[in-house]
Amino acid sequence: MIALIFFSALLWDEAQSWGFKDGVLHNSIWLERAAGVYHRESRSGKYQLTYTEAKAVCEYEGGRLATYQQLEAARKIGFHVCAAGWMAKGRVGYPIVKAGANCGFGKTGIVDYGIRLNRSERWDAYCYNPNGKECGGVFTDSKHVFKSPGYPNEYENDQICYWHIRVKYGQRIHLQFLEFDVEDDIACMADFLEIYDSYDDVNGFVGRFCGDELPDDIISTGNVMTLKFLTDASVTAGGFQIRYTTIDTTSKPSDGKNTTSQGKTNYLSGKFGIM
């Protein structure tokens, strides 16, 4: 499935520029552009932003509303979000990589609501940050170590990175924090790492992390996870290293309970998967 996405006809022309850097498979052009696109919702929740507010959210973080083409470029390397958001020029839509009955009408592509005449409608936002450095990507290996951009140097301002992990159906993803140092504030509003137990940054929210305390291990319920790293316009820190490994479903603890409050490891409850 992922191979089909990677090697779709449109990407094929770009394939020669794929390469390894820091042990990570990158396409510098596509990843940089795609990693620059990110989804934002209002701090008060989903579908709360007018067009003017959506623009302001993106601009506050040093970016601007993404164009349809930028969103599509991001989608092609795995950017999948089941939530409609404003784009440039008053357009509304969302990117679907994995066809599903509950989202995107069973199709893949940009679900396009067109240019909205009523700019007071409330949706989320798709921002594009042209200052964002190359980071993020889609990973299907059985293990990998993620690093914040520039690690072991401090990360930079105005960064946005998405790491999508998709391992074999029936496997779970075990995240282990090796190093963690992100600008600290009470609600992690400035810089943060968010983790989602799903293939987008809407469903399966696990937690938002900042500061320098090493978070506990996290184990997914299914075979997909998303990590989102966002930094604001000032104050940086040391960054992070996070390792993921895969575990077969048969070796998981039989209770499958969320042990956030006691255990060293968070086993997320529930079960789902994407083939």
Which residues are at the interface with Ca ion (CB under 5 A)?
Answer: 183, 190-191, 231-232, 235
CB 113 within 8 A of CB 52: no
- Name the residue nearer to Ca ion (CB basis): 219 or 230: 230
CB of 185 to Ca ion, least distance (A): 9
Least distance (Å) between residue 193 CB and Ca ion: 12
Residue with Cβ nearer Ca ion (134 or 232): 232
Cβ-based nearer residue to Ca ion, 173 or 237: 237
- CB closer to Ca ion out of 41 and 191: 191
Compare residues 41 and 232 and give the one whose CB is closer to Ca ion. Answer: 232
User: Taking the complex as a whole, how short is the minimal distance between the CB of residue 129 and Ca ion, in angstroms?
Assistant: 14
Question: 117 Cβ partners below 8 Å, 6+ apart?
Answer: none
- The tokens for 145 are 């170590």
Closer of 87 and 193 to Ca ion (Cβ): 193
Q: For residues 183 and 93, what is the distance between their CA atoms, to the nearest angstrom?
A: 32
The residues, ordered by sequence, that sit 6+ positions from 197 with a Cβ below 8 Å of its Cβ are: 203, 204, 205, 206, 220, 221, 222, 225, 268
How far apart are CB 231 and Ca ion at their closest, in Å? Answer: 5
Name the minimum Å distance from CB 158 to Ca ion: 9
DSSP code per residue over 75-144: HHTT----S-EE-GGGEEEEEESS-BTTBGGG--EEEEEEE-S-TT--BEEEEE-TTPPS--EEE-SSEE
> φ and ψ at 95, to 5 degrees?
-95, 130
| Shortest CB 182 distance to Ca ion, Å | 8
User: In terms of CB distance, is 229 or 244 closer to Ca ion?
Assistant: 229
Quote the least distance from Cβ 200 to Ca ion, whole Å: 24
CA–CA gap between residue 31 and residue 135 (Å, rounded): 7
Count of helix runs (H) and strand runs (E) in the chain: 5, 18
Element (H, E) at 162: strand 160-166
CB of 212 to Ca ion, least distance (A): 14
Nearer to Ca ion, 41 or 181 (CB): 181
Contact at 8 Å (CB) between 265 and 259? yes
Q: Phi and psi at residue 8, in whole multiples of 5°?
A: -65, 160
